[in-house]
Structure 1
Amino acid sequence: MAEVFVSDKAKADENARNGELEAVTAFLRRYPGHLHFKAPWYAEAGCDWSKPAAFNAKQIIKHKHWFVSWAEYAAFREQLESDVELQRFEAAVNAICDGDFAFLKRLLNEDAELVQRRSLRGHRATLLNYTGANGIEDWRQKTPANIVDIARLLLETGADTDAWGDMYGGTSTLGLVATSVHPVIAGVQEPLMDILIRHGADPNRAVAPNYTGGMLILACIHNGRYEPVHYLARHGAKVDLEGACALGDLEKVRALFDEAVSQKQNIGLTWACQYGHIPVVDFLLEKGLSVNTAINGTTPLLAAAFEGQLQMVIKLLDWGADIEAVNDYGGTALGQTLWCLYNHRCPDHLQIMELLINRGAIIKDDWQTYINEIRAHG
């Protein structure tokens, strides 16, 4: 039954992308009260499960297309039928996402103003913003292998390097690229950032001031994108104590520590533990920070265990870290490590599991089966 739902859900997603109201309505009627629909996304879309399926189908479709109301989405669809400029813009977006360089170039040659236009959707993205594969329609969040060439074409045609889209409170293309997983998976994140920076992208004008204080490095680590932070630091991105701890830059940590508020000091400690920067952690603990600091739903030990930092876990336990402290999901270091072994495995997670057990971590009743399975299969 679960496999059938997944298959039907995939079809419904495609139907929503195509604006097929009756098909999405039929899907919702087929699965009334399904647990999947309790996901926060549906509440954000405006769904109300006490109302008819057709109402909620409209909420899903308009939200997927980045419109506030069904009326706005319907007006967009109607305009798309006859507005040549809008048709050309949407075709150019599809060319970017599909990696169709030749077709995109032809469209840009036919319409000199195209590269300056913005989407009519709520994010108001430019064509260059779409190369970030972030904060846009979910089916367009993909990075073709030739995205660097596509970005270069857009920039050489006159794209504004630092133009912001309205996603995440305001973000430039560099901010989108740096915080997106899709360029990482495609292996082109750094080359894509590099072409933007060489065309003048400012790493200190990449994210909104009310989002991580406007600091791109913090936006990256808060989104689980550690890959670009050292590159960005080398290219002038602003670094505060929190960022310096994540980078493992002991010199900057020393220089910034005394002026930083305690919250920043404690968050910095958890990042240093998560990314395995033992000299930074030594310094912070010597400054009086607690090895059992609990902040942002985690502790130093939990942070280190999550990212598979074996040597850090050993040191934290030796320094007196509470092995039974819990994260914001109620998981201990051992429970979290078991989850990671199935969902976020790093090379040393298996050794961390055995270490925690040997150090006396409580094994809950339903965990032993998973531990046995992990031990059997490595």
Structure 2
Amino acid sequence: MLRRSVLVGVASLLLTAAPLVAAGETMRGTSLLLAASKDDVAAIKILLADGVQIDARDDSGATALLVATHVNGIEAARALIEAGADVNAKDKIEDSPYLYAGARGHLDILKMTLAHGADLKSINRYGGTALIPASERGHVETVRTLIEAGVDVDHVNRLGWTALLEAIILGDGGKRHQKIVDLLVKAGADVNLADGKGVTPLQHARAYGHDAIERILAVAGAH
């Protein structure tokens, strides 16, 4: 009877301890996410050495690495990536450290993700590669880096647009977008690949009054 009582007591203690352990892990994961948001490398290294799960997530599904990428925390991102953080781990809206760095022009972090297994074929919630929003937002060096990495320059997103079309339709026609169009053309982008309504890049450039871009396309054989 005494032995059974002891066993019951041990079982009860374990059941009580389990939620406490889980809560402790959650708190430590939260601490890692907070350290990442502050680009606090020292805290990150201490927490990882203490066994915190490196890919713990917040309520949005973001890992510490994605949180660091959100704030362009280069050193935090470096520490996490070198410790094995997943550069392709997506949150609930389909952003990953690689995709977000590309879209926002966080070039240093982007290069680190590319050096540590970034999936060049991964797509965001709009069905686009990292190259498409980078082209739209005028991140010239990011576009150059992604092209050199081998991202498909003619990938079409759910809107029916390529990187070239987004640079023209959503860009301002200025020097940054002119350079991006030139980079895409020289990388072999199909200058006659139309959108879902059959409108070509050249037609869009004319419609938006992007004269310099129109000339780049015309020289490349656009019609």
Q: Is the 8 A contact 1:172 1:205 kept in 2?
A: no
Equivalent residue for 1:117?
56
Equivalent residue for 1:218?
132
Q: Could you say if the C-alpha distance between residues 128 and 92 of structure 1 is closer, same or farther in structure 2, counting changes exceeding 3 Å?
A: same
Q: Is the 8 A contact 1:129 1:173 kept in 2?
A: yes
Are residues 1:105 and 2:45 paired?
Answer: yes
Are residues 1:162 and 2:88 paired?
Answer: yes
In structure 1, what residue type is equivalent to 2:87?
A: T
Q: Distance in 2 between matches of 1:92 and 1:275?
A: 49
Q: Could you say if the C-alpha distance between residues 198 and 286 of structure 1 is closer, same or farther in structure 2, counting changes exceeding 3 Å?
A: closer
Q: What CA deviation, in whole Å up to 9, does each residue of 1:88-128 have, x standing for no partner?
A: 1221111111121111110111125x103222x1x211111
Q: What CA deviation, in whole Å up to 9, does each residue of 1:234-279 have, x standing for no partner?
A: 21121128424643244567x6244534235368627996594353
Structure 1 segments (4+ residues) deviating >6 Å: 270-273
Q: Is the 8 A contact 1:204 1:215 kept in 2?
A: yes
Q: Could you say if the C-alpha distance between residues 226 and 158 of structure 1 is closer, same or farther in structure 2, counting changes exceeding 3 Å?
A: closer
Q: What is the aligned length? A: 180
Equivalent residue for 1:86?
26
Question: 1:223-234 counterparts in 2 under 5 A?
Answer: 224-227=137-140, 228-234=142-148
Q: Is the 8 A contact 1:161 1:201 kept in 2?
A: yes
Q: Is the 8 A contact 2:78 2:112 kept in 1?
A: yes
In structure 2, what residue type is equivalent to 1:256?
A: D
Decide which moves more: 84-93 or 193-202: 84-93
Q: CA deviation at 1:206?
A: 4.4
Q: Is the 8 A contact 1:248 1:272 kept in 2?
A: no
Q: Could you say if the C-alpha distance between residues 108 and 266 of structure 1 is closer, same or farther in structure 2, counting changes exceeding 3 Å?
A: same
Q: Distance in 1 between matches of 2:207 and 2:102?
A: 18
Q: What CA deviation, in whole Å up to 9, does each residue of 1:212-233 have, x standing for no partner?
A: x3222212244x2534222211
Q: Is the 8 A contact 2:191 2:221 kept in 1?
A: no
Residue 115 of structure 1 aligns to a residue whose secondary structure is: coil
In structure 2, what residue type is equivalent to 1:89?
A: G
Q: Is the 8 A contact 2:33 2:63 kept in 1?
A: no
Equivalent residue for 1:235?
149
- TM (norm. structure 1) is 0.41
Residue 229 of structure 1 aligns to a residue whose secondary structure is: helix
Q: Distance in 1 between matches of 2:108 and 2:39?
A: 16
Q: Distance in 2 between matches of 1:286 and 1:161?
A: 37
Equivalent residue for 2:64?
127
Percent of aligned positions with the same letter in both sequences?
Answer: 21
Q: What CA deviation, in whole Å up to 9, does each residue of 1:15-52 have, x standing for no partner?
A: xxxxxxxxxxxxxxxxxxxxxxxxxxxxxxxxxxxxxx
- TM (norm. structure 2) is 0.66
Q: Is the 8 A contact 1:148 1:195 kept in 2?
A: no
Q: Distance in 1 between matches of 2:139 and 2:204?
A: 14
Q: Is the 8 A contact 2:66 2:96 kept in 1?
A: yes
Residue 214 of structure 1 aligns to a residue whose secondary structure is: coil
Q: Could you say if the C-alpha distance between residues 83 and 267 of structure 1 is closer, same or farther in structure 2, counting changes exceeding 3 Å?
A: farther
User: What runs of 5+ residues in structure 2 fail to find an aligned partner?
Assistant: 1-18, 155-160, 168-179
Q: Distance in 1 between matches of 2:216 and 2:91?
A: 36
Q: Distance in 2 between matches of 1:271 and 1:204?
A: 31
Q: Could you say if the C-alpha distance between residues 276 and 192 of structure 1 is closer, same or farther in structure 2, counting changes exceeding 3 Å?
A: farther
Are residues 1:194 and 2:194 paired?
Answer: no
Name which of 152, 164, 171 aligns with 2:95.
Answer: 171
In structure 1, what residue type is equivalent to 2:80?
A: L
- The two structures, once aligned, show a CA RMSD in angstroms of 3.4
Q: Is the 8 A contact 1:242 1:265 kept in 2?
A: no
Q: Could you say if the C-alpha distance between residues 252 and 99 of structure 1 is closer, same or farther in structure 2, counting changes exceeding 3 Å?
A: closer
Q: CA deviation at 1:195?
A: 0.9
Q: Is the 8 A contact 1:242 1:268 kept in 2?
A: no
